[in-house]
Amino acid sequence: MTRLRHIAIASQDPEGTAHYFADVFEMQICGKIDSRNARGYYLSDGVINLAILQFKNAPAAGCALDFVGLHHIGFEVDDIEKTIERSIAAGCEPRHDVNIAQGLGANPHKDNAEFKLRGPEGMMIDVSQRGWVGSTPKGNQPE
């Protein structure tokens, strides 16, 4: 079974936004990112990874750099290739523009994101076989 394990929010103030979720909702800050594509924080409630990201370049973001709000959701899956096939069969193609800009799909052992898809109504979907920092891996969900 596929599990929702990751939500990413585009932010212009990733530090303030991360601290809001930590202070108000008692989420744990479990990582910090400052890559060529984005800077920000990873938080978790112990089950789901919440990424607060300020993108540094539009190709990697797949949207305008001033966009703020829900950026993408991520599912941990058993088989990325089969998931991609099902998505294409449903009329939703891969986001090759974002995958190429972020170097996704070329490194299956990369932490976090592995492949981006265009979901229904243009929403961005992230699929991973490894999961995300702070998320509960499949099979280890709380009772």
Segment 25-49, tens digit of pLDDT: 889 999 999 999 999 999 999 999 9
State the pLDDT at residue 2: 84
Give the CATH number, domain containing residue 107: 3.10.180.10
Determine the average pLDDT of the residues in 17-22.
92
Is 82 domain-assigned? Answer: yes
- For the cut 50, the answer to whether the pLDDT of residue 62 exceeds it is yes
Contact status, residue 69 vs residue 17, Cβ threshold 8 Å: no
Contact status, residue 91 vs residue 119, Cβ threshold 8 Å: no
State the pLDDT at residue 143: 43
Q: What's the angle, vertex CA 11, arms to CA 6 and CA 114, rounded to 5? A: 35
Is 139 domain-assigned? Answer: no
Determine the average pLDDT of the residues in 50-67.
92
State the pLDDT at residue 108: 53
- What total number of domains does the chain contain? 1
Is 9 domain-assigned? Answer: yes
Distance CA 127, CA 84 (A): 9
Structural domain boundaries enclosing 118: 3-128
Is 143 domain-assigned? Answer: no
**Whole-prediction pTM:** 0.75
- For the cut 60, the answer to whether the pLDDT of residue 66 exceeds it is yes
Is 21 domain-assigned? Answer: yes
Average pLDDT along the chain? 86
Determine the average pLDDT of the residues in 112-132.
82
- CB atoms under 10 Å from CB of 140, counted, come to 9
State the pLDDT at residue 106: 58
Residue 140 — pLDDT band, cuts 50, 70, 90?
low
| Residue 80 phi, psi (nearest 5) | -60, -45
